Amino acid sequence: MDLDLIRELAIPGDTKIVLAVVDGLGGLEHPETGRSELEAVNTNNLDRLAQDSSCGLTMPVGYGITPGSGPGHLALFGYDPMRYLVGRGVLEALGTDFDLQPQDVAARGNFCTLDDQGRITDRRAGRLATEQNVALCERLRQIELPGVQLFVEPVREHRFVLVLRPTSGNLSDKISETDPQREGASPLPAQPLDDDAKRTAALVNTFVDRARELIKDSSPANGLTLRGFAKHPKMPSFPETFGLRAGAVAVYPMYRGLAKLVGMTVLPTGSTYDDEIATLRDCWNDFDFFFIHYKYADSAGEDGDFDAKMAALEKFDGFVPALRELGADVLMIAGDHSTPAVMAGHSWHGVPFLLSAKNARHDDVDAFNERACLRGALGTFPASEVMPLAMAHAGRLAKYGA
């Protein structure tokens, strides 16, 4: 839905909306049992909630399109993911609470393991301990380049952020990534994608050469890749568009970054989902809308671990009563995309969705999974329509036209 229209129709209220995102929620059948992760696991609480909700399947971007975390979340926040693009570097930078400036170029960095021919043997350096990451970033901060100020910020495990801030002239984010996206290949040089990007590409390649030199004796992380070069995008503000004071809780930085990007207030929280729910409880009166993020279904799916994804979903199911007890007028359980364990990665498949509210139209769905949600009152629909639906059910959208 057009965000200008939503802004026009939005009316104030005292209702509360909770959007609980289970990262990588959707799955696929295990070839031996014919049952998906959600079908195979006991999710009594979700099933009961589904019986009391309008269910459906969200399509994050479009038929056959596998979304990254950025488009997956932006769609759930109401932004057409084909129109609003956010580079990974920007997301990661925002997630570290880095104060990104409009002229900055940010990139997502991964520490990796290289063999003696310079080929990548582990793209994540064994998911490096965060302390080692911090120490490596310290070393990289020694690097100086002409005409730019450099920032190297550790994230978690093997991930860091590189930000180039020009002290003279301009920088461009139109450069290719150095991550070959597979093991057995060497990191690639950054290539300018247009003429304006030549200087930036040269600076990045110089940075990578110096960095390699500085960490070559470290183990397991003796190399690095950079991707997602990006500048801060222009987007309408979520709180202004929907007329909602919006609070966000997430353990992982990228999701906090996405929330911050659209103008939500990122709330300090602990390291568990219990902590996240407690934060919502504590801040309940200060916001109209809460985005709360559960990561572990996606991590397990990405690892191709069917049982671990089942366990992550079962664990989430255990939190559902606490989510319901918050007493939101509109409670939604959604996913940013599917991450089927049998694919060990994100996928394009529709994502189970439910919306519980007083005026939600009931359907015959009595379980929360891919197959059951197909029969839901909401059908299969674009994820970017989740927010208009939430607004309507919260009594926060005026009638359109006479």
381 binds a second copy (CB under 8 A): yes
51: three-class secondary structure by DSSP: helix
71 binds a second copy (CB under 8 A): yes
- Return all residues near 92 (Cβ < 8 A) that are at least 6 apart: 106, 108, 155, 159, 161, 228, 253, 254, 257
Q: What is d(CA 146, CA 149) in angstroms, rounded to the nearest whole number?
A: 8
363 binds a second copy (CB under 8 A): yes
**Residue nearer to a second copy on the CB measure, 280 or 373:** 373
Site string for a second copy, 51-70 (x = CB under 8 A): ----------xxxxxxxxxx
253 binds a second copy (CB under 8 A): no
- Return all residues near 294 (Cβ < 8 A) that are at least 6 apart: 20, 21, 22, 23, 273, 276, 316, 319
**Residue nearer to a second copy on the CB measure, 85 or 283:** 85
Q: Which of residues 321-350 bind a second copy (CB under 8 A)?
A: 340, 342-343, 345-350
Q: In terms of residues, how long is the chain?
A: 402
Burial class (CB in 10 A: 0-12, 13-18, 19+), 99: exposed
Q: How far is the CB of 146 from a second copy (least distance, A)?
A: 29
Q: What is d(CA 28, CA 66) in angstroms, rounded to the nearest whole number?
A: 14
Q: What is d(CA 274, CA 252) in angstroms, rounded to the nearest whole number?
A: 15
Q: Residue from 88, 158, 159, 309 that binds a second copy (CB under 8 A)?
A: 88
Q: Residue from 219, 237, 362, 366 that binds a second copy (CB under 8 A)?
A: 362
Q: How far is the CB of 287 from a second copy (least distance, A)?
A: 20
Structure tokens at 367: 């379980």
Cα 376 versus chain centre, distance: 26
Q: Residue from 25, 49, 81, 128 that binds a second copy (CB under 8 A)?
A: 81
**Residue nearer to a second copy on the CB measure, 5 or 134:** 5
Structure tokens at 223: 């190399």
Q: Residue from 9, 150, 193, 278 that binds a second copy (CB under 8 A)?
A: 9
Size of the site for a second copy (CB under 8 A): 64
Q: With beta carbons less than 8 A apart as the criterion, state whether 95 and 261 touch.
A: no
390 binds a second copy (CB under 8 A): yes
> Using omega within 30 degrees of 0 as the cis cutoff, is the peptide bond preceding 220 cis?
yes
85 binds a second copy (CB under 8 A): yes
Residues that bind a second copy (CB under 8 A): 1-2, 5, 9, 28-29, 34, 61-71, 81-82, 85-88, 91, 108, 228, 340, 342-343, 345-350, 359, 361-364, 370-371, 374-375, 377, 379-382, 385, 387-393, 397-402
